[in-house]
Amino acid sequence: MGQKIIQVILILIVSPFLFGLINKTKAFFAGRKGPPVLQLYYDIFKLFRKGVTYSKTVSFIFILGPIISLACSIIGLLIMPLGKYPSIFSFNGDFILLIYLFAMGRFFTVIAALDTGSSFEGMGASREVQFALFAEPALFLSIIALVKLSGKTSLTGILSKSIFSINGLLNPVIYLIVATIFIVFLAENCRIPVDDPNTHLELTMIHEVMVLDHGGVDFGFILYNSALKFWILGSFIAGLFSSIFSFGLFADILIFISIMFLLSIIVGIVESVLARLRLLKVPYFLMIGLGLSFISLIISLR
Amino acid sequence: MVIILISFFINAVIALILYKYQKFVNYFNGIVTSLISLSGLILLILNYFFNFFNFKNNYIALDNLSIFFLFLIFLGSIFFSLYGINYLTNYYSKKNLGVHWALINILIASMSLVVMSKNVILFLIAWEIMSFSSFFLVLFEGEKKEVVRASFIYIVATHIGTIFLFVMFLLYSKEYSSFDMSQWGGIKDSLLSSIIFIFALIGFGTKAGIMPMHIWLPEAHPAAPSHISAMMSGIMIKNGIYGILRILFTLKDVQIWWGYLLIIMGVISGFLGILFAVSQHDIKRMLAYSSIENIGIIVIGIGLGIIGLSLNNSLLILLGFCGALLHVLNHLLFKGLLFMGAGSVYFATHSRNIDSFGGLLKRMPLTGVTFLIGSLAISSLPPFNGFMSEFLLYFGFFNSILTDKISFVILSCFGIIFMAIIGALALISFTKLFGIVFLGELRDQKHSKAKDPPFLMVLSMIIFAIFNVIIALGFPFIIKIAANILGIGINFRLTQIFNILAIIVIVFIIFYIIVLLLILKRRILLINKKIDYSLTWDCGYAKPDARMQYTGSSFVQPVIDFFRYILRTERTPIKVIDCFPDNSKFKTKTKDFFTSLFTPLIELIKRINNRLTLFQYGYIHLYILYIFIALIILLIWKL
């Protein structure tokens, strides 16, 4: 138990670091120096020291939104295993709870956005729920395929199965699943090509426009929440690869974290070389994920 | 139990006698109705623990299934009638409240009789009384044209269902030459057995609102007063589910394709129900469609249970039937709450149009908060009860993926995907409903004086909201009770599920703790900090206006557009006439395409019926002659 708690605390500390890594990668591609790797930590602490400004329109929902979303992500951390090392809670069907926790967080982000009465945030909220409509089934589909492949119905069971050994790497299904989860991962974490985390004020923004009115502590919570969410979904992908090697607990966790770093660098590269999709094309992008996971499911059913 | 039924009846009679004293009748009969239901509920609970009456005679029997549904009926009735008392104060000297309360009492009594009776004839009589009393209750505001239309559709639909029930019961009782349901024990002929099952599904499914037999539901629910909608949606349509389960449990040898059929029908109801809910503009109509969705989920659970029965898989039996039963309970709690919330909004504003509201949370804080809890629960989000029952079904599907039967595996995959899509759509429709109605700025200044409804209405809503939270936390124990009701003893499967649910409950508690800690953390961080209030930052507008907000229709537009081939939303576009167009209007309306599906059938029946008017002269003695001739023919046939 002590080890698991340390594990969770470690993630709570490390996760904002990944965003710094992404931004460094992007800066490298753009030929800039870029913000320091620890920029997100600075931002969050600065926001925590600030006062807040609220709109006269908002109610307590606006304040509750970031809090509940963050709480959902923290609970998510308690469920999401670190590769084959289970987190504090591991039970059969835990991924259902995990996905619905994300939905809970989304519900509150969306109603907090609607609470401001701003048409921009309404727009963002509308898009957020629409894209979730495609992302969620895709995630479920890939989990079905994983459950079928591994014969286990818990996250730890799925991720610790030997199908992801060296031999398993030759299995094409794995790559289809990873591709699907990667697409969902990009969409859920509002990365390019679905969304752009850098700009706040274009009509085409989704997530960033929803939090336009938040400031101070609340925005700090939101930033931290996005870092945690990035870690949780990312560790799904990293977890699939991390069980290939095993060198004991300490080394494994280091390997896991380095895979996460690699993933952030990949996201950085994707963001550097791709343009954001036109808004109307985003559903098609998510549909690709749905299609890929469908194919992986059909193959794994045989 | 009979005493309870009789007291409902007496209460109805009193209401009829005293109908002149509107105010007295309203309070007295309302409270008495609630008290009778409460005493019924207490009796049932005591009986569950001490088992002191083993109630049985030739016509009425209380087995566990009946007790469960009876429990729901009483639980709902207590609070819906309390709610109704205050809700009806708007109608003093406009309506005959004596008749209204009499009908409510008869409805509750007949609903209880339906789940208690084991004699077919008694069952059908109770069933018909239930249909008729609810028909008259829907007709409460009978001066409105759409109400008359809605109740007419309801009565026709429900009778078409009853015809199927008649045939089904006749076929079944012929097999055993007995009208006593408790003596029935399945039918050997698998074809006949399937026919009976299909007829029961159509007959009871019409009442439950399974697609495509649902067309009456989105019409009748908005037309009825809110406590009646809550009663119908929370309790009455569940009697359809009760009927399906009852017939199913007497038919001992279930066939696997029934399960497949039920899952497919459930998925269709769930998916289309919630899709139509997304596109509605009327609060109660939207809730009615969402009832269809939830019935779909319940039916999926029953289907899963049937497959479990036929594959002899105890885990699936447990998950499927318990999931279905507990979703029935949960749906009563959150849909009752939501209908009461919608009723409170209507009570305060006399409007049901979602797009005319906004910012009601500040004006009606208690209604708003309870409505939020209901919305979260119905979107099956943790940590509320809706999640728990859907979790059981998800878990059942994920476990059936690991079975060997390939057709079932494929079906389970579709089940999971569609439940995920249903979940996402439910999230859309309820963020829309809550966000547009209760948050932001008020769109129509007519409603600016809206405030929380009177005490009893608020009380019922708060209690239901608390139930929603508590049921989720006590779910591991509730599933034990549910398993007990289904006659599944304590086995290792149950312990397994119990443990999983217990972990989930612990997670929920930690969730609440974390939320509290974060709120505390925010408080601490904001000590001695400046908190400013200003306008919403709308990209530099100096004077944001309520009309500039996103409306419900614009919120769901991308989704509606994506599913336009299914929904066929009618759009009345803007016609730009001159260079400076003003006062433009844009309307969307989503009709239920199933209604048009039935139109040719109804036209055909109309044409046949027109021919048949040949026999219908309107002279009573002629009709007596017909009866006489029929009797003679029957006599000769029997000779």
Q: Do you find a cis peptide bond into A193, omega within 30 degrees of 0?
A: yes
Asked if B269 contacts B214 with a C-beta cutoff of 8 angstroms, the reply is yes
Distance CA B324, CA B337 (A): 20
CA distance A7 to B491: 36
pLDDT of amino acid A166: 59
Q: Which residue has the higher pLDDT, B566 or A94?
A: A94
> For residue B305, which of B297, B295, B314, B296 has the smallest C-alpha distance?
B314
Tokens 């969770």 correspond to what residue? A8
Mean pLDDT (whole number) for B389-394: 93
Residue B170 contacts A where some CB pair is shorter than 8 Å: no
Peptide linkage before B365 cis (omega within 30 of 0): no
Q: How many helices (H) and strands (E) would you count in chain B? A: 24, 3
Establish if A122 touches chain B: CB-CB under 8 angstroms: yes
Q: How far is CA B106 from CA B101, B149, B240, in A?
A: 9, 23, 18
Under the banding of pLDDT at 50, 70 and 90, the label for residue A103 is very high
Closest partner residue to B435 (CB to CB) among A92, A110, A221 is A110
Of A258, A240, A243, whose CA–CA distance to A296 is shortest? Answer: A240
- The answer, for A212 touching chain B at a CB cutoff of 8 Å, is yes
- A84 to chain B, any CB pair closer than 8 A? The answer is no
Question: Do B532 and A141 lie within an 8 Å CB cutoff?
Answer: no
Token pair, residue A115, equals: 């609470």
Indicate the residue type of A288.
Answer: I
Torsion sign (Cα): B395, B397, B399, B402: negative
CB contact at 8 A, B7 and B36: yes
- Residue type (1 letter), B144: K
Q: What is the mean pLDDT of residues A262-270?
A: 93
Confidence (pLDDT) at B202: 92
- This complex has an ipTM of 0.95
Residue A281: CB partners within 8 Å, gap ≥ 6? none
pLDDT given at position B53: 65
Are A176 and A293 in contact by the 8 Å Cβ rule? The answer is yes
Give the pLDDT of residue B461.
93
User: In whole angstroms, what is the distance from residue B459 CA to residue B49 CA?
Assistant: 28
pLDDT at B517: 95
**First-to-last C-alpha distance (Å) of chain B:** 43
Number of Cβ atoms within 10 Å of the Cβ of A288: 15
The minimum CA-CA distance between B500 and chain A, rounded to whole Å, is 6
Name the percent of chain B lying above pLDDT 90: 41
For residue B397, the chain A residue with the least C-alpha distance is A144
CA angle B520, B521, B527 (to 5 degrees): 90
Q: What is the mean pLDDT of residues B505-531?
A: 92
Task: Write the pLDDT tens digit of every residue in B196-255.
Answer: 999 999 999 999 988 888 888 888 888 889 999 999 998 999 999 999 998 888 887 788
- Distance between CA atoms of B609 and B598, rounded to whole angstroms? 16
Cross-strand partners of B570: B589
Residue B66's pLDDT is what? 87
Report the alpha-carbon distance of residue A209 to residue B539 in Å, rounded.
11
Report cis status (omega within 30 of 0) of the bond before B383: yes
* Interior/surface letters B178-203, b for 16+ CB within 10 angstroms, e for the rest: ebebeebeebeeeeebbbbbebbbbb
> Phi and psi for B442 in degrees, rounded to 5?
-65, 130
Nearest one of A67, A241, A95 to B522, comparing CA atoms? A67
Look at residue A86 and give its three-state secondary structure. Answer: coil
**pLDDT-derived band of residue A150, with 50, 70 and 90 as boundaries?**
confident
Inter-chain contact A107–B428, Cβ cutoff 8 Å? no
A285 Cβ under 8 Å from any chain B Cβ? no
Provide the shortest C-alpha distance from residue A33 to chain B (in Å): 31
- Closest residue in A to B417 (Cα) is A137
Contact between chains at B506 and A78 (C-beta distance less than 8 A): no
| Euclidean distance between CA atoms B283 and B290, whole angstroms | 11
Looking at chain A, which residue has its C-alpha nearest residue B549? A119
pLDDT, one tens digit per residue, over A183-234 is 999 998 888 888 887 766 556 678 888 888 888 899 999 999 999 999 999 9
**Subunit contact A137:B358, Cβ cutoff 8 A:** no
Tell me the HSE value of A57 on the side-chain side, using a 13 A CA sphere.
Answer: 28
Q: What is the pLDDT of residue B431?
A: 94
CA-wise closest residue to B292 among B228, B354, B215: B215
Pick from B408, B538, B541 the residue to mutate for testing the A interface (most A CBs within 10 Å).
B538
Q: Which of residues 38-67 of A touch B (CB under 8 A)?
A: 48-59, 61, 63, 67
Q: Does any CB of chain A come closer than 8 Å to the CB of residue B550?
A: yes
CA distance linking residue B391 with residue A99, whole number of Å: 11
Contact A96 B531 (CB under 8 A): no
Interchain proximity B506–A89, CB inside 8 Å: yes
CB B518 to CB A59 under 8 A?
no
The two tokens of residue A204 are 């085409």
More confident residue, A39 or A241: A39
What would the pLDDT profile of B243-291 be if each residue is shown by its tens digit? 999 888 888 778 889 999 999 999 999 999 999 999 888 999 999 999 9
Q: Is B542 on the interface with A (CB under 8 A)?
A: no
- The C-alpha atoms of residue B174 and residue B187 are separated, in whole angstroms, by 11
Separation of alpha carbons A236 and A84, rounded Å: 11
User: Chains A, B: CB contacts under 8 A, how many?
Assistant: 232
- Give the pLDDT band (50/70/90) at residue B601: confident
3-state secondary structure A231-284: HHHHHHHHHHHHCCCCCCHHHHHHHHHHHHHHHHHHHHHHHHHCCCCCHHHHHH
Closest chain B residue to the Cα of A91, Cα to Cα: B500
Is the pLDDT confidence value at A163 over 70? no
pTM score > 0.90 for this model? yes
- Average confidence score pLDDT of chain A: 87
Partners of A130 on chain B (C-beta within 8 Å) are 428, 558-559, 562
Q: Which residues pair with B572 in a beta bridge?
A: B587
Evaluate if residue B492 carries a pLDDT over 70: yes
Task: State the pLDDT at residue A201.
Answer: 59
From residue A3, how far is each of A6, A71, A85, A216, B266 by CA, in Å? 5, 22, 10, 34, 45
Per-residue pLDDT band at A98 (split at 50, 70, 90): very high
| Residue B431 to residue A125: CA distance in whole angstroms | 9
- The pLDDT confidence band at residue A162, using thresholds 50, 70 and 90, is low
Q: First-to-last CA distance in chain A?
A: 39
Q: In chain A, count of helices (H) and strands (E)?
A: 11, 1
* Mean pLDDT along residues A40-47: 93
Determine the pLDDT at residue A203: 61
pLDDT tens for residues A269-289? 999 998 888 888 888 999 999
- Kindly give the residue spans of alpha helices, DSSP state H, lying in B209-282: 217-223, 226-231, 237-250, 256-279
Interchain CB distance below 8 Å, B550 and A55: no
Pairing of strands B587-589, B570-572: antiparallel
Length of chain A measured in residues: 302
Could you tell me if A8 lies within 8 Å of chain B, comparing CB atoms? no
The CB-based long-range contact list for B68-72 (8 Å cut-off, 24+ gap) reads B68/B325, B68/B482, B68/B485, B69/B115, B69/B238, B69/B239, B69/B242, B69/B328, B70/B1, B70/B40, B70/B44, B70/B112, B70/B115, B70/B116, B71/B41, B71/B44, B71/B45, B72/B234, B72/B235, B72/B238, B72/B328, B72/B329, B72/B332
Residue A85 three-state SS: strand
Cα(B231)–Cα(B298) distance, rounded to whole angstroms? 18
Chain B residue with Cα closest to A89: B503
Element (DSSP H or E) covering residue B571? strand B570-572
